[in-house]
Amino acid sequence: MAESLILPMVRGVAAKAADALVQSVTGACGAVDNDRRKLQRQLLAVQCALADAEARSETNLAVRRWMKDLNAAAYEADDVLDDFRYEALRRDAEVGDGKVLGYFTPHNPLLFRVTMSKKLSNVLEKMNKLVEQMNELGLSVDRTESPQELKPPYLQMHSAALDESSDIVGRDDDKEVVVKLLLDQRYEQRLQVLPVIGIGGSGKTTLAKMVYNDTRVRDHFQLKMWHCVSENFEAVPLLKSIVELATNRRCQVPDKDTIQLLRRQLEGAIGSRRFLLVLDDVWNEDENKWQDELRPLLCSAAGGHGSVVVVTTRSQQVASIMGTMRSHELACLNDDDSWELFSKKAFSEEVRETAELVTIGRLIVKKCRGLPLALNAMGGLMSSKQQLNEWKAIADSARDRDEILSMLKLSYRHLPSEMKQCFAFCSIFPRNHEMDKEVLIQLWMANGFIQEDGIMDLEQKGEYTFQYLVWRSFLQDVKAKKTLDHLAELQPSTILQKEIMDKALPYESIGCKMHDLMHDLAKDVADECVTSEHVLQHDASVRNVRHMNISSTFGMQETMEMLQVTSSLRTWIVPSPLCRDLKDLSLASLRALVIEKGIFHYHSVMSNHVITYSKHLRYLDLSMSQIVMLPSSICVMYNLQTLRLNGCSFLKYLPESMGKMRKLLHLYLLGCDSLVRMPPNFGLLNNLRTLTTFVLDTKAGCGIDELKNLCHIANRLELYNLRKINCRNNGIEANLHQKENLSELLLHWGRDKIYTPENNAYNEEEVLESLTPHGKLKILELHGYSGLKIPQWMRDPQMLQCLTTLRISNCLGCKDLSTLWLSVSLEHLQLSRMDNLTTLCKNVGVGAEGYTIPQQVFPKLKSLKLELLFSLEKWAENTAGEAKNLVTFPELEMLQIIRCSKLASVPDCPVLKELDRFGSYMLAMNELTHLTSLSKLNYVADSLCDCVSMPLGSWPSLVELVLRSSTHIPTTLQVEANQGQLEYLRSLSLVNCFTAASGSSEMRLGLWKCFAFVEVLHIHMCLSLVCWPTEELTSLIHLRHLYIEHCHRLEGKGSSSEEKFMSLSHLERLHIQNCYNLLEIPMLPASLQDLRLESCRRLMALPSNLGNLAMLRHLYLMSCYVLKDLPDGMDGLVSLKILEIQACAEIEEFPQGLLQRLPTLKELSRQGCPGLETRCREGGEYFDLVSSVQRICIPAAAKTEMEEESRSGI
């Protein structure tokens, strides 16, 4: 089917032959221009025969060969014509730069004319032969498909295509069944797995999304995660993804001990929370991968009671391997639901629902066999067909045995030819890969798949194409996603810097995916797009490949050797380690180069080779590289449209002559925090649509006025060094108010996000006033401003009527926010380091500037963070300056108050769920009793408070409670005498505030009985803890996980401790770390599954009943220096799978009972234990016993590393 892609290629080359830039060069020589016109005519001639050629190619090998030759010639012609186009751009740039075209240079016009005349003649000769062969083959010349007229109103009409929820039909009953199954597991202690089975295209993922987004499911589970598995069912990438989903940050673990580290990170990330994990599109039928690897790891994370994994799959085998619950089988839609789904897509104002069309439509629906994917695809197709005969022809077309695949192919055949190229190109990405919409459109543009048509420019045409493919169901799962600034990964210097970087607003973009059936279809029609895996498996030849994605360094050398035989690559996505070998490849035809997944060290290679042979390049992505300066030769990439340098944190300068790159549309500089300034005359790049960062300077041609003519920039713009603006007039020249496509504006007075002004500059208020943006901004940030007041445009509610996010920091002089709180759209507000701010909301309750001010403040605000506001003492005041306490935040859900030392109260927040209070000693806990909807409270007691009275009854919905002392002096806790149990509280963390207030034992234990439903308890740095708190712990009858850390005075002695500790019948995990004086551990309950003892330096013996713990799966001992022996009789550890003993040099041998368990272990680690290491090595007495263990940590290598570190002083 790939032949159908030749038509848009030939049409595009014919259009380029008529391009004005090409003619401006060829017109200087009559003979060359004659050849250009002849080439154009021949291209138009063969274009008219392609419809017949495609039809006959299925049975006629000669026609098929002719089409293949035509395709190669068209690509060659495109390169030749692009050479002319490049020369025109080069001449324009050099003349504009004041240079005289030289005749004794590499760009000598005479030499160029001779060389290009020969190339053009060769191409024309090939095309003449192809036309002769076309006539000999008897191909009929018909009027081929002409480009469809694309009207902007159609784009607007179908913009709702991005909302896929409206397309879901007939799955409400399935959703109710699955939701009920999930909620019914609430009391299950073991992790449950629910498979959802259905054939491809039946809507398994859609159903899982409906369940995932259901409000009952959202309220029931404390943590929800979604991972698309597809064909990669390996433990490490899957676990890393889950950890990232649970923590909402990147998971970085070294290759060494990856599984162990991931397990611990997973345990910490999930904790005691009841979680829902969706594993979408699972294909793995290897039972060992699940039962022996992933299942134990997920089970070790435990989570709260009722945690569930939902698996979507086509395979009954997968369901039987993974499921612990009865599978939910997803049937196809019935006739009525099928018709409803189809007709919603097919009929509109342009295609009316008539009796004749309904009759034919029902025939089409019947062939779709109730599969939503096929119904959506065919409905989208029919929405563009208005004639009855068109409907009849399509209804008669699907005749393949596999009617579903036939329907999808039919829908593809009726795509406009240019869109076929765009769809087929998506096969370059792996199955289930989340594609970035901006990247996808820019790659389409770079390869010439979309052309301007007089109605829309390239950007609009790309947006239209994307939305049309979504509407026709070729693309799906369209949603906003975050493009994180990964600077912290490249420069992990200090914790403070990392925290500051984490606060940087992520750049939001649109992501999408392809259904796996659509991905298969794309691979079927696109024989020019391959991945390195297919090449290495000899599924594809590289000789005629145009687009390649090398997704890993596996088989790197073999892949590079194969690529040396091709010179046709146009798109290359390649890992950075391969870049050192670029000089061995011919990249003369390259249009798009993406260097990814690593740090790009080979600056010289790039400048000497890639740029030299990349005059056709339109798209270049060097993100996350360590280059300091781009070579000046990049400025001769006159065709370049997109340059991505995100995360290049060492980049200091852009080339001085970038102003010559007039075709540049997109420049991404997110995270380029070392960039000193922009190059001079940057304003010449007046075609820019994307400019994420602008660093101004006082140097001539580097000021804010360079933004004046950049009228098209959209989305996000960060402005740095605004303190260098001399006067109001300079700011006005930026014309920010005319840049109506901007949605995010970040204003920085310094070069970085932590810049703090030293004094109040005389002109900063008028400068900020001059930077007035348009009135539809969504996100605004202001950092390092030293003015005393915010500008007039920030005081006008109508000016910021679309604003959803506002961040202000390091504005030390700013005294008030005026009536900013009137905003009816603001959802997220962060204020930090505003030393003069005394009141958050002023003029409350009276008219202000013509507006009636309601009692509700910030009516749509959902999150509020107040940090380091040392003068803030009032939430609101009236015009007389009197405090006004009767205000409410009606929709506020999350509130953080950090080091606001004068703030003594919190206003009414009826739906507040999360509160963090730290360093605000005036704000006592009893001032929070009115916040009755709290589910999470993090309260840090201050140095002036040695006792915290907790009104726990005020927070009946509390799920997580963190209490800590900010000093080394322990804080005591009190509750009311009649305080009942908190039945929803599941997680309790106590940091240096373990002890209860003095009094009777009954009063002391009354505190702990309030926590009876707690499942996870963290005790950290409680220096008053000496004996085992067994009486307190036995009050926690539901306790499952116990963590005791850095309790340096804990010795462990206590009356009846063993008997009471044994009564913790639900305890599954016990972790004790850095308790240096711990002498003994009581006998452990039989329910224990995970025991971890680390840095207990005085611990001499383990509990005597350790060997009888039949449910223990994981035993970890580290840095217990005086621990000499493991207890006898450990043959009772029938469930033990993981044994880790590290830096316990006194343990020299395993007890006899444990020796019997060694062959059944999955993992064994014994580093820093010389006696054990000797016995386990080859020739040692334990070698045969441990040889069957699946994973063994190599002690010799570890020992060598430790010795080297010791010698180097690390």
Residues in CB range of 136: below 8 A, 6 or more apart: none
Indicate whether 460 and 479 sit together in one domain: yes
pTM of the model: 0.83
Domains in the chain, number: 5
DSSP state of 679: P
By the 10 Å C-beta count (0-12 exposed, 13-18 middle, 19+ buried), 198 is classed as: buried
In a domain, residue 77? The reply is yes
Confidence of residue 876 (pLDDT cuts 50, 70, 90): confident
pLDDT in tens, 569-579: 899 888 765 56
Tens digit of pLDDT for each residue in 191-244? 899 999 988 888 888 899 999 999 899 888 989 999 888 777 888 888 888 888
Give the pLDDT mean for 1048-1072. 80
SS (H, E, C) 370-403: CCHHHHHHHHHHHCCCCCHHHHHHHHCCCCCCCH
Secondary structure (DSSP) of 200-252: TTS-HHHHHHHHHT-HHHHHH-SEEEEEEEET---HHHHHHHHHHHHHTS---
- Per-residue pLDDT band for 151 (boundaries 50, 70, 90) equals very low
Q: Is position 911 within any domain?
A: no
At 482 the pLDDT is 61
Q: Is residue 903 within 8 Å of 923, Cβ to Cβ?
A: yes
Residues 408 and 345 in one domain: yes
Cα distance between residue 362 and residue 328, in whole Å: 29
pLDDT band at residue 491 under the 50/70/90 scheme: very low
What is the mean pLDDT of the segment spanning 733-756? 92
Domain assignment present for residue 99? The answer is yes
For the stretch 172-191, pLDDT in tens is 889 999 999 999 988 888 88
Question: For residue range 529-565, what is the model confidence (pLDDT) as tens digits?
Answer: 888 766 656 555 667 788 988 876 555 666 666 666 6
Does residue 426 carry a pLDDT above 90?
yes
Measured between alpha carbons, how far is 659 from 1134 in angstroms, rounded to an integer? 72
Calpha distance 543→68 (Å, rounded):
13
More confident residue, 71 or 530: 71
Does 212 share its domain with 320?
yes
Same domain, 561 and 702: no
In a domain, 550, yes or no: yes
Give Rg (Cα) of the chain.
34
d(C-alpha 183, C-alpha 180), whole Å: 5
Same domain, 366 and 471: yes
Percent of the residues in the chain that have a pLDDT greater than 90, as a whole number: 38
Question: Which one of 294, 311, 329 terminates a domain?
Answer: 329
Same domain, 362 and 388: yes
CB contact at 8 A, 948 and 993: yes
Q: Where does a domain end: 275, 294, 329? A: 329
Least confident range of 317-326, 929-938, 1124-1133: 1124-1133
The answer, yes or no, to whether residue 1205 has pLDDT greater than 60, is no
Q: Same domain for 245 and 279?
A: yes
Confidence of residue 144 (pLDDT cuts 50, 70, 90): very low
Q: What is the per-residue pLDDT for 1184?
A: 87
Predicted local confidence at residue 163, as pLDDT: 44
Q: Measure the CA–CA gap between 843 and 820, rounded to whole angstroms.
A: 11
Q: 605 is in which domain, residue-wise?
A: 541-639+646-660
pLDDT of residue 1203: 37
The sign one gets for the Cα dihedral 577, 581, 582, 585 is negative
Same structural domain, 392 and 452:
yes
- Position 150 in a domain: no
Termini Cα distance of the chain: 61
User: Which regions of 1119-1175 does DSSP assign to beta strands (E)?
Assistant: 1138-1142, 1163-1165
Tokens 């009486």 belong to residue: 1031
Given a cut of 70, whether residue 745 has pLDDT beyond it is yes
The per-residue pLDDT for range 993-1041, each reduced to its tens digit, is: 765 444 455 656 777 888 899 999 999 988 888 888 888 888 899 999 9
Distance of CA 438 to the CA centre of its chain: 14
Identity of residue 413: R
Ranked by mean pLDDT, the top range of 110-114, 365-369, 718-722, 1146-1150 is 718-722
Q: What are phi and psi of 938, to 5 degrees?
A: -115, 105
Burial of 543 (C-beta count, 10 Å sphere; 0-12/13-18/19+): exposed
Q: Could you say which of 295, 329, 363 is where a domain stops?
A: 329
DSSP-H helix ranges across 526-663? 532-536, 556-563, 603-605
| Residue range 128-143: mean pLDDT, rounded | 86
The Cβ of residue 1129 has, within 10 Å, a number of other Cβ atoms equal to 15
Residues 206 and 338 placed together within one structural domain of the fold: no
Mapping DSSP to helix (H, G, I), strand (E, B) and coil, where does residue 272 land? Answer: coil
**Residue 687: is its pLDDT beyond 80?**
yes
Quote the mean pLDDT of the chain: 82
Average pLDDT for 733-738: 93
Predicted pLDDT of residue 828: 95
Do 325 and 378 share a structural domain?
no
**Which is nearest to 575 in space by CA: 598, 557, 554?**
598
Structure confidence by residue, pLDDT tens digits, 1108-1160: 899 998 999 999 999 988 888 788 898 898 899 999 999 998 988 888 888 88
Does residue 1106 belong to any structural domain of this protein? no
Q: Which whole number is the average pLDDT over 919-945?
A: 83
Phi/psi of residue 166, nearest 5 degrees: -75, -15
Question: The CATH number of the domain where 198 resides is what?
Answer: 3.40.50.300
pLDDT in tens, 342-401: 988 888 877 888 888 888 888 888 888 888 888 888 888 888 888 888 888 888 775 555
In a domain, 1192, yes or no: no
CATH number of the domain within which 593 lies: 3.80.10.10
Q: How far apart are CA 450 and CA 419, in angstroms?
A: 8
Check residue 1 and give its pLDDT: 42
Say which range, 83-87, 101-105, 870-874, has the weakest mean pLDDT: 101-105
**Confidence class of residue 273 from pLDDT cuts 50, 70 and 90?**
confident
- 686: domain CATH number? 3.80.10
> What pLDDT sits at residue 106?
53
The answer for 1129, left when phi > 0, alpha when psi is -120 to 50, beta otherwise, is: left
Which residues, other chains included, contact 325 with Cβ-Cβ below 8 Å and sequence gap of 6+? 181, 185, 192, 193, 194, 195
Same domain, 348 and 463: yes
Asked if residue 830 is part of any domain, the answer here is no
**152 burial level (CB within 10 Å; 0-12, 13-18, 19+):** exposed
What number is the average pLDDT over the span 1092-1112?
91
- 290 Cβ partners below 8 Å, 6+ apart? 233, 284, 321, 322
Q: Same domain, yes or no, for 479 and 545?
A: no
User: With bands split at pLDDT 50, 70 and 90, how would you rate the model's confidence at 1200?
Assistant: very low
Look up residue 1143 and give its two tokens: 């830096």
Task: Give residue 1158's pLDDT.
Answer: 82
pLDDT at 156: 37
